[in-house]
Amino acid sequence: MKKTCLLLLFLLSIFSGYSQQKFKITYEQLKEYEGIYEYQNNTTLQIAASPKDTILYAIINESKYALKPSEKDTFLNMSKEKVTFLRNNTASITGYTSEGKTFNLLNKKVSFPKEMWYPRLNSKDFKYVYQQPKKDLDGLITGPIDNTVLDKTLLNEMMQKIVDGTYPNVHSVLILKDGKLVFEEYFYEYNKTKLHEMRSATKSLVSALTGIAIDKGLIKDVNETVLSFFPEYTLKNLTEDKRQITIKNLLTNQSGLDCDVSNPKSEGNETTMNYSDDWVKFTLDLPMVDVPGGRGMYCSGNPITLGKIIEKATKMTLPDFAKETLFKDIGIKNFKWNFKPDMSSAETFCQIYLTPRDMAKFGLLYLNKGIWNDKQVISKKWVNESLTKQSVVQGVNYGYLWWIKYLEVSGTKYYGKAAQGNGGQKIYVWENQNMVTVITGGNYNSQSPSDELIQKYILPAFKK
């Protein structure tokens, strides 16, 4: 009996070793899957093999999502769902299946720049040397880091660790101190002119545009009721509480609607909304689970509804209103914003794309209480209200679509106001330090190192 058990254990160890080897895939094997494929909602995605980490990635609108090998021709996406590639009778890849749907390979001939895989192409020989950001025609003032308290040694260490891969998928780091851009670095294929998606940091821009619409008298105030802007809708689950939802409740994520990203049972599931015909009606149709002004619940349908209210009040598209007001005043000319809250935006989320330098200008505008070049672009009152605690969302203080949070360094709390989004998009306003930090990244649906970079390499300089 003992010999039989030993034999079984031996066979199991061999099988286990065989299984591990069986699904180990080389870079050359991964390249077989590369190409442009069909994707949901009549869109496409790219499949690319990384020579850096030997991982297959699905690329959707420049966002990269890892596919981990599971078995022959089968990978697991970041939600642990199977993605199985299909072959024809000559063993050539023809498409893939995912969640019961089949998507065809459209074009096998696709190339990917080497820069997209490496923070810097010369990473092995990389030696950081600080350079003052160059002045451009975008309205930002640049200056040397020597005249600040920022620590060159710490920033040098930060650069080395980003480039050596300790902190992966960081696309840019910018620091404005005392009104001047003193640090500006880009990685991978990103540079100062390339637009970057902002994901949920877009919400803070919607907040700014709400304030401008109120400043101009196009919206009376934050106490206007939401449903008064949508007389064309016949809504489900209509209650007196729902009739009382205000613009302020949308700004503070206290609408009371059953929409909470942290609750998987919430009817206001973001993915379900994304594939609905009308995101605003989807949101307003939701049942109430709290009173307006009650519990803070992170809900993307709130700012989407707010964006549509701005469009109705201004009789302009949201991007056009931004272009004629906020962007015109602070010199943002290069942007992409397709605000169409319906199924066509399922994979782009109605988000805005900006350059990191323009993100920095937006942060600086709020640091300066709404003033840009001596012009009051947004009222000081609105900026103060936006950056003051109005609610608590996911255990964090929350203003008007701005996060009010702190980062702790050796027992000292540094309080910042943040516009932030999935992947590591961060615009931090540090009022006490008279500083703005911008970090962009590609750590989608995974832990971003953005806050850690600020904690370890930027804020410690202020403890001296």
Q: Which helix (H) or strand (E) holds 356?
A: helix 356-367
How confident is the model at residue 122, as a pLDDT?
85
Angle of helix 202-215 relative to helix 301-314, nearest 10 degrees, comes to 30
How confident is the model at residue 284, as a pLDDT?
98
Strand partners, 403: 398, 418
Tell me the pLDDT tens digit for each residue of 84-122: 999 999 999 999 999 999 999 999 999 999 999 999 998
pTM: predicted TM-score of the whole model, two decimal places = 0.93
In total, the chain counts a number of residues equal to 464
Report the sign of the C-alpha dihedral through residues 428, 430, 434, 437, in that order.
negative
How confident is the model at residue 16, as a pLDDT?
41
Q: What DSSP state is assigned to residue 174?
A: E
Q: Cα–Cα distance between 410 and 295 in angstroms, integer?
A: 32
Domain ranges in the chain?
22-112, 196-463
- Cβ burial of 249 (10 Å; 0-12, 13-18, 19+) is buried
How confident is the model at residue 12, as a pLDDT?
42
The letter for the amino acid at 132 is Q
Q: What is the CATH number of domain 22-112?
A: 2.40.128.50
CATH 3.30.300.30 fits 196-463, yes or no: no
Tell me the pLDDT tens digit for each residue of 298-312: 999 999 999 999 999
Q: What DSSP state is assigned to residue 133?
A: P
Taking residue 293's Cβ as centre, other Cβ atoms within 10 Å add up to: 17
Any residues with CB less than 8 A from the CB of 348 and at least 6 apart, and which? 61, 338
Counting as low any pLDDT under 70, the low residues of the chain are 1-22, 464
How confident is the model at residue 437, as a pLDDT?
99
Any residues with CB less than 8 A from the CB of 161 and at least 6 apart, and which? 167
How confident is the model at residue 62, as a pLDDT?
87
How confident is the model at residue 24, as a pLDDT?
84
